[in-house]
């Protein structure tokens, strides 16, 4: 469903999505990261609020999931980064289908 959404709709859907704190298994948003974002980009960059720490680039899903489970990475930080990455992929797919 998300692959046919315009950018603004992706942003809204990801922002509204529930990310269970510290829960990696069966967390739909983290599954997007595991099965779409990391295979596409081979890394995932998160720009964080200064209160939550410095920006971070994850080189693997395992690294991200470890930080998420330990609360070193917050859902509020992941949401905009996930939406940005999904929209980048959708832009490429849109160009390919033109």
pLDDT tens, position by position, 23-82: 999 998 999 999 999 999 999 999 987 887 899 999 999 999 999 999 999 888 999 999
> Model pTM?
0.86
Q: Residue 81: CB partners within 8 Å, gap ≥ 6?
A: 44, 45, 46, 47
In the chain, the domains with their CATH numbers are: 2-97 (1.10.240.10)
Query: Using CA atoms, how far apart are residues 68 and 83, in angstroms rounded to an integer?
Result: 17
Centre a 10 Å sphere on the Cβ of residue 24 and count the other Cβ atoms it contains.
17
């Amino acid at each position: 469903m998300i692959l046919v959404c315009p950018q603004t709709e992706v942003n809204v859907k990801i922002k509204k999505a529930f990310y269970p704190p510290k829960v990696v298994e069966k967390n739909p948003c983290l599954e997007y990261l595991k099965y779409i974002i990391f295979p596409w980009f081979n890394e995932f960059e998160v720009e964080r609020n200064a209160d939550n720490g410095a920006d971070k680039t994850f080189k693997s899903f395992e690294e991200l999931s470890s930080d998420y489970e330990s609360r070193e990475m917050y859902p509020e930080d992941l949401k905009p980064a996930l939406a940005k990455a999904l929209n980048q992929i959708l832009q490429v797919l849109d160009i390919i289908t033109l």
